[in-house]
């Protein structure tokens, strides 16, 4: 049983910053922040879970079965992630590409200390607490001076895109592309050939940007990334030496009672500082036949996945191809709902729909095989999901995109970007879309006090 205490906050925004700063002392941190983005299905403005009372960490072998046992045995709040490579547990697939990050395939923990924020209300729920521990922590958090970034956010600069560049000390300080632009274009052409042959209709093709021997100030980088993007599914995750700094705008799957909600994103356009031009860009995105076709194909895939676990005739498309605006980009989002069939465990709802269609393609298994062939890097946590289970089995998970991944043991930093390739794709335009999606992560890293290690 958790001990619960509720407080009314005078300045919720300031307290959120103090709370995240306070959390940095713990070995396990899961910070989920909606950034007060207006959405129909959000239950909390922010959640913080720190300190592992129990945990599960495993590779993909029987990973969903192990998670189901852990969730049903614990019957408490648990936080963690599903890596993309759990596809190998769901289907007969493999992941053989280069992995510089070395994250476990699945990691969840039961937090000792849990904070739930909604409006000006804060709930603190603790396990195995000492006398007055909640009140002492609350007072300590309130007394913290907020850490403010002193470096201004700079304008865009070109990415280094040649993976064969000599690794001098100077080049170590740059973010490098795993593949060159020329290689990217050739790989997209190969994917188009698969589409023309009829093997797939659509596939999400991604590329990695990385730096080695890099030491970064993770709290400051996350602050910058979140400030640049302000997304509804921002995440700071620390599990031992593994870190995720995410500015994700996308929900993968949410369960509330028997209702399931999935909100795939397909379709991206830039923002403009000119209000009239910005409205025009959003309208053009909403009418773009290529972007609409990408989105509709993934909606069909999600409907098919949900139908495996849903009550008959309960799968509905509540919203199709609606354009939402974020700080950096406009996005085309659809909303699909379903009623979970009786007797199906919560974890099975995840297993039956994983990986999410927006990050794979259609048909799903063929797309994942071609992705593995053409991509150079193991995806790992990128294009996986981070979220939580509540004690009654409800859950909410994002899609890990627009994210920086970091291994503090080997000082490897990485972010990946990609897009949907369809028969109507232009390789040059797909590459430009990748660079657009990379802007926030690159700027956050450039403006941090990160440096190469000698």
Catalytic site residues?
A: 250, 266
Look up tokens 């195995």; give the residue. Answer: 128
Instruction: Single out the residue of 336, 327, 350, 332 nearest to residue 396, CA to CA.
Output: 350
Pairwise CA distance, residues 91 & 60, whole Å:
11
Helix and strand element counts for the chain (H, E) = 12, 22
Look up tokens 């690794």; give the residue. Answer: 167
- Which residues have CB under 8 Å from 319's CB, separation 6+? 333, 334, 335
- Determine how many CB atoms are found less than 10 A away from the CB of residue 57: 17
Measured N-to-C along each axis, helices 12-23 and 133-142 cross at an angle, to the nearest 10 degrees, of 110
> H or E stretch including 218?
helix 218-229
Q: Give the CA distances from residue 36 to residues 11, 46, 233, 236, 256, in Å, rounded to whole numbers and listed in that order.
A: 14, 9, 10, 16, 20
Query: What values do phi and psi take at 272, rounded to 5?
Result: -125, 145
Gyration radius of the chain over CA positions: 21
């Amino acid at each position: 049983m958790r001990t619960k205490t509720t407080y009314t906050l005078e300045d919720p925004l300031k307290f959120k910053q103090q709370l995240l700063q306070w959390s940095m002392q713990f070995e396990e941190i899961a910070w989920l922040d909606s950034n007060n983005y207006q959405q129909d299905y959000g239950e909390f403005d922010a959640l913080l879970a720190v300190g592992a009372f129990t945990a599960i960490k495993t590779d993909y072998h029987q990973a969903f079965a192990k998670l189901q046992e852990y969730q049903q045995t614990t019957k408490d709040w648990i936080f963690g992630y599903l890596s993309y490579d759990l596809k190998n547990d769901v289907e007969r697939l493999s992941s053989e590409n280069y992995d510089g990050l070395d994250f476990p395939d699945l990691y969840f923990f039961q937090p000792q200390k849990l904070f739930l924020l909604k409006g000006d209300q804060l709930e603190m729920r603790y396990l195995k607490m000492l006398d007055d521990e909640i009140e002492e922590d609350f007072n300590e958090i309130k007394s913290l001076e907020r850490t403010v970034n002193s470096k201004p956010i700079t304008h865009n600069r070109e990415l280094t895109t040649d993976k064969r560049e000599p690794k001098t000390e100077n080049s170590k300080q740059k973010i490098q592309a795993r593949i060159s632009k020329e290689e990217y274009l050739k790989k997209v052409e190969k994917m188009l050939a698969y589409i023309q042959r009829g093997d797939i209709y659509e596939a999400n093709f991604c590329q990695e940007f990385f730096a080695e021997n890099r030491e970064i100030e993770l709290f400051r980088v996350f602050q910058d990334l979140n400030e640049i993007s302000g997304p509804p599914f921002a995440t700071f995750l620390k599990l031992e030496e593994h870190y995720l700094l995410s500015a994700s705008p996308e929900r993968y799957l949410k369960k509330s009672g028997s209702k399931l909600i999935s909100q795939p994103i397909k379709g991206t356009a830039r923002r403009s500082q000119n209000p009239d031009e910005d409205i025009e860009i959003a309208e053009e995105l909403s009418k773009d036949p290529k972007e609409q076709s990408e989105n509709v194909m993934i909606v069909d895939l999600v409907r098919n996945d949900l139908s495996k676990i849903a009550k008959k005739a309960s799968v509905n498309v509540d919203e199709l191809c609606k354009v939402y605006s974020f700080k950096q980009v406009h996005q085309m989002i659809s909303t699909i709902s379903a009623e979970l069939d009786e007797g199906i465990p919560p974890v099975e709802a995840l297993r039956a729909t994983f990986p999410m269609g927006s990050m794979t393609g259609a048909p799903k298994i063929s797309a994942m095989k071609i992705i593995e062939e053409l991509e150079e890097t193991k995806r790992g946590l990128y294009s996986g999901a981070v979220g939580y289970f509540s004690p009654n089995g409800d859950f909410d998970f994002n899609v890990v995109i627009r994210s920086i991944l970091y291994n503090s043991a080997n000082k490897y930093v990485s972010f990946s970007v990609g897009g949907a390739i369809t028969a109507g794709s232009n390789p040059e335009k797909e590459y430009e879309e990748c660079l657009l999606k990379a802007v926030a992560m690159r700027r956050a890293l450039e403006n941090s006090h990160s440096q190469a290690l000698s």
